Structure 1
Amino acid sequence: MAYVIVSPCIGEKAGECVTACPVDCIQEGPEQFYIDPDTCIECGACVTVCPVEAIFYEDDVPDNEKEYIEKNRAFFK
């Protein structure tokens, strides 16, 4: 399990999550940031600094945002 960035990040890309991450697992994509599920240590540092509340623990991703779980994984393949 890992944290996942969902749709409120699209177009926002504020970047506080990147600087808060102690293991540098968050990378910028063309429309939003993504969290590498293999590198994420599940510390939650990114969650508390996200200004648009777009970061969820994988098990807690809202049903209407579930597609972002796979989008985050696919970004790192």
Structure 2
Amino acid sequence: MPFIVTEPCIQCKYTDCVAVCPMDCFVAGPNFLVIDPDGCIDCSVCVPECPVNAIVNAADATEAQRPYIALNARLAKSGHWPPIRRVQPPLPDHAAWRDVAAKVHLLVLPDLQAE
């Protein structure tokens, strides 16, 4: 089962994980990254690179993290967010958001109504 990006990434968007991904399977939104499950080879090299521990194996996802399995797949395939292949600076206020637990309400999503 592939790895997924979960809530701690929201409003931080650290991209250290992108630098080590051998499959270029990260996709970037305005304030969040996702992993394309079809590209992920389950190598786990991205996991220790995330400074906020946002990346988990989908098979090990907690109850609270399980919705991110479908969210990663849907957003990766939506075509609204571009693949990201190079490290970029985190969001400007990343330090203020780094330890905030409940921030899913801040996730900026593309309009997927028509899909």
TM normalised by structure 2 equals 0.64
**Is the CA contact 2:9–2:52 (under 8 Å) kept in the aligned structure 1?**
yes
Report the counterpart of residue 48 of structure 1 in structure 2. 48
Q: Counterpart amino acid of 1:73?
A: A
User: Counterparts of 2:22 and 2:59 in 1: how far apart (Å)?
Assistant: 22
Aligned to 2:11: 11
Runs of 5+ consecutive residues of structure 1 not aligned to the other structure: none
> In the alignment, which residue of structure 2 is the partner of 1:25?
25
- Paired position in structure 2 for 1:2: 2
Shift of 1:41: 0.6
Q: Secondary structure at the match of 1:23?
A: coil
RMSD of aligned alpha carbons? 0.9
Q: Which runs of no fewer than 5 residues in structure 2 stay unpaired?
A: 78-115
- Higher helix proportion, which one? 1
Q: CA deviation at 1:30?
A: 2.0
4+ aligned runs moved over 6 Å, structure 1: none
The residue that corresponds to 1:34 in the other structure is: 34
Normalised by the length of structure 1, the TM-score is: 0.94
- Once residues 8 and 53 of structure 1 are traced to their aligned partners in structure 2, the CA distance between those partners, rounded to angstroms, is 7
Is the 1:18–1:27 contact (alpha carbons within 8 Å) kept by the matching residues of 2?
no
- Once the two structures are aligned, what percentage of the paired residues are identical? 42
